[in-house]
Amino acid sequence: MGLCNSKIKGRRIKRSTTNDLSNDHGDDVENHVYSFPHDDEECDRIHLQHLIERYIWQGNFFSPIENLLNQAGTKVLDVGTGSGAWLLEMATKYSKSEFIGIDISQMQPDENIPPNAKFIQANVLERLPFNDNTFDFIFQRILFAGIPRNKWSSTIDELVRVLKPGGYLELAENDFQYNMMGLATRKIVDGLLILFHERGIDPTVCYKLQNYLEENKQLHNVHCEEKKYVDGQYSTKVYKLLFDDYSAVLTNIKPTLMNIIKVSSEEYDGLVNDMGKEVMESECFNMHVRVYAQKKA
Ligand SMILES: C[S@@+](CC[C@H](N)C(=O)[O-])C[C@H]1O[C@@H](n2cnc3c(N)ncnc32)[C@H](O)[C@@H]1O
């Protein structure tokens, strides 16, 4: 599958303009720990991240739900939908199914949305605005920075509550740390680790997803896939995009991270630049993990 063949064009995006990294993004949502902005740049970055993920996994999901998605009335929930790119692509392809995307932000498009898709502002750390047993498929990708370590089990409980018996829950997360790190990369990654530690976030939750699903008494048929993805010049054609995504994260959270690693603006830019060279010149990789499970009938 090509990388960019379904880039969403011509959609107007509702975006908050704040770049404030506190809990108040101007989104009227409290009780969350997510520290990334919800502005134009971050929306574009999340869109790029979607294209990279789809390319790496060569598809948008791995639960055995293709037939279900082609049946009228199937209901799908996308948790932390971000730019909405995954949901809009899925809703366009599976036009008989209904798709709902939830997010604390309102950065999703508000026009040219397929009739079977909608976005709702909701916080996955709170009770979701859906009845028990509503969805046939629930998808949640790259939310590690939004769910504190001690809330993963209860968040999964809540997702399972709104999942229909026999329905599938799929989670995907990445490890942002590389197996080999040069000095600049180490400094940046250490800063990210401090940021996540301060917010109670587990940066290695990708390796625990399978356990979380196995521990949930209402789930069974747990499947897990891990993929090492080589970055830098030894990688495939997406290597440049992978680091573009990483450096866009670092640009978008620059004020916060600069403060944590105690460097000036110029020093920070220099570190990100050096990190780019280190990653490009080494044969480093990071891990991508996805899991799914079925709710018992
Ligand atoms: C890295 S983006 C991933 C977007 C999308 N899932 C994807 O894979 O393309 C994380 C998204 O989760 C959202 N988010 C963070 N904390 C959340 C919460 N407590 N409830 C709902 N959404 C949340 C953020 O606003 C952001 O849009």
Q: Which amino acid is at 109?
A: P
Helical H segments across the chain, by residue range: 40-57, 66-69, 85-93, 152-162, 183-198, 209-215, 239-252, 254-261, 265-281
Strand 285-295 and strand 219-230: the pairing is: antiparallel
How many Cβ atoms from other residues are within 10 Å of residue 22's Cβ? 8
Strand 135-141 and strand 163-174: the pairing is: parallel
Q: For ligand 1, is residue 27 a contact (CB within 6 Å)?
A: no
User: What CATH number corresponds to the domain at position 207?
Assistant: 3.40.50.150
> Hey, CA dihedral for 227, 161, 152, 253, is it positive or negative?
positive
Q: Which amino acid is at 225?
A: E
Residue 184, in any domain of the structure: yes
pLDDT of 36: 85
Q: For ligand 1, is residue 171 a contact (CB within 6 Å)?
A: no
Residue 21, in any domain of the structure: no
**234-292 tens-digit pLDDT:** 555 666 777 788 889 999 899 999 999 999 999 999 999 999 888 888 877 889 999 99
Q: Residue 229: which domain range?
A: 40-295
Q: What is the phi/psi pair of residue 28, to 5°?
A: 60, 30
pLDDT of 280: 81
Domain count, the chain: 1
Return d(Cα 1, Cα 24) in angstroms, integer: 38
Residue 130, in any domain of the structure: yes
Residue 16, in any domain of the structure: no
| Selection from 207, 212, 134 nearest residue 167 by Cα | 134
Q: For ligand 1, is residue 84 a contact (CB within 6 Å)?
A: no
Residue 1, in any domain of the structure: no
Angle at 51 between CA 278 and CA 238, to 5 degrees: 35
Q: For ligand 1, is residue 162 a contact (CB within 6 Å)?
A: no
Distance 34 CA to ligand 1 centre (A): 8
Residue 33, in any domain of the structure: no
Q: For ligand 1, is residue 29 a contact (CB within 6 Å)?
A: no
Q: Is 141 helix (H, G, I), strand (E, B) or coil?
A: strand
**217-245 tens-digit pLDDT:** 999 999 999 998 776 555 556 667 777 88
Q: Which atom of ligand 1 is nearest to the CA of 53?
A: 8
Residue 61, in any domain of the structure: yes
Residue 27, in any domain of the structure: no
pLDDT tens for each residue of the chain, 297 residues long? 433 333 333 343 443 333 333 333 344 455 888 888 888 888 989 999 999 899 889 999 999 999 999 999 999 999 999 999 999 999 999 999 999 999 999 999 988 899 999 999 999 999 999 999 999 999 999 999 999 999 999 999 999 999 999 999 999 999 988 888 889 999 999 999 999 999 999 999 999 999 999 999 999 999 999 998 776 555 556 667 777 888 899 998 999 999 999 999 999 999 999 998 888 888 778 899 999 999 999
